[in-house]
Amino acid sequence: MHRVFIADDERFIRLSLAKRVGAYGSNTLIAGMEVNGARAISWLEEYMADLCLIDIRMPLVDGLEVVAWINRHRPYTECIIVSSHDEFDYAKKALQLGVADYLLKPIHQDTLREGLDRSLARMRERRSVACTQLMLRHMPHYQHRLKQWVDEMQALNDTNVLALTNPTLTSFRQWIGEDHELLLPLVWNWLRLIGEILEKKGVQVEIGSYEHLDDAAPTLKRDEAGEHVFALAVRYFNRELERMLQQCANAWNSSTLQIIELAMDYIRGNYHRTLRLQEIADHVAMNKNYLCEVFKNATGMTVWNYIKDIRMKAAEELVLTTSLKVYEIAHRVGYKNSIHFSKTFKSSFALNPLEYRDKVKIANKRLNP
Give tens-digit pLDDT for 342-361. Answer: 999 999 999 999 999 988 88
Domains annotated for the chain, with CATH where assigned, are: 2-125 (3.40.50.2300), 131-250 (no CATH), 304-367 (1.10.10.60)
Could you tell me whether strands 51-55 and 101-104 are parallel, antiparallel, or unpaired per DSSP bridges?
unpaired
Q: At 112, phi and psi to the nearest 5?
A: -65, -40
Residue 15 CB neighbours (<10 A): 13
Residue 338 CB neighbours (<10 A): 17
Distance CA 164, CA 245 (A): 14
Could you tell me whether strands 51-55 and 78-83 are parallel, antiparallel, or unpaired per DSSP bridges?
parallel
- CA-CA-CA-CA dihedral for 331, 332, 338, 343, to nearest 10: 140
Could you tell me the pTM of the whole model? Answer: 0.69
The model's pLDDT over 210-223, given as tens digits with 9 standing for 90+, comes to 888 877 678 899 99
For residue 52, what are the β-bridge partners?
A: 5, 79
The model's pLDDT over 275-303, given as tens digits with 9 standing for 90+, comes to 999 999 999 988 899 889 888 877 888 99
